[in-house]
Amino acid sequence: MQIRPRFLFLAALTMMSAAQAAQAAPRDDILAGYAAQAKAADAAFAGFSAARGEALHRDRHSGGKPDSPSCTSCHGENTRAAGRTPVGKAIEPVAVSVAPTRYTDAAKVEKWFRRNCREVLGRECTPREKGDWLAFMTTQ
């Protein structure tokens, strides 16, 4: 019973790409869900925009808490670096390229949009804003 190293290598490679695909699929489902909601809210909706998502992420907003006028107040300017909560705990980077398991659990994504949009904007985010923001993070 001998297993060739090349076979092992190929098997590992297949498993790795399968794992990445497995994470992309739920993320796509979450985005599709937001797209359907955005379309329902506005018939002219023509897809998400990473550029709009970046603006939402980086802009300073009013209406939320004075301590957190922007997503970057806690997540930091660099999407690929760790952020920091107001009480000092590190936050995993928001960019999908460095945190590939992010945005794969729809309930978790909703929970954090609900909390953080209220903190930063003083209101819940719209489906379009959520999709734009996710679209930006998948390019990061």
Mention every residue, 6+ apart, whose C-beta is less than 8 A from residue 83: 74, 75, 76, 90, 91, 92, 93, 94
Query: For tokens 């903190």, what's the residue?
Result: 119
Neighbours of 107 (CB within 10 A): 7
Identity of the residue, 59 or 105, whose beta carbon is nearer to another protein in the bound complex: 105
Which residue of 115, 122, 123, 139 would you call a contact of another protein, by CB under 8 A? Answer: 115
Q: How far apart are CA 113 and CA 120, in angstroms?
A: 10
Which residue of 58, 60, 114, 123 would you call a contact of another protein, by CB under 8 A? Answer: 114
Closest approach, Cβ 87 to another protein, in A, equals 4
3-state secondary structure of 84: strand
Identity of the residue, 60 or 65, whose beta carbon is nearer to another protein in the bound complex: 65
Identity of the residue, 95 or 117, whose beta carbon is nearer to another protein in the bound complex: 117
Identity of the residue, 42 or 77, whose beta carbon is nearer to another protein in the bound complex: 77
Phi, psi dihedral angles at 15 (to 5 degrees): -65, -40
Binders of another protein among 72-111, rule CB under 8 A? 84-89, 111
Which residue of 49, 99, 118, 126 would you call a contact of another protein, by CB under 8 A? Answer: 118
Query: For tokens 């819940």, what's the residue?
Result: 124
CA angle 51/123/91 to nearest 5° reads 65
Dmax (CA) of the chain: 67
Identity of the residue, 54 or 73, whose beta carbon is nearer to another protein in the bound complex: 73
Q: Kindly determine how many residues on this chain lie close enough to bind another protein according to the rule CB under 8 A.
A: 12
Residues that bind another protein (CB under 8 A): 65, 84-89, 111, 114-115, 118-119
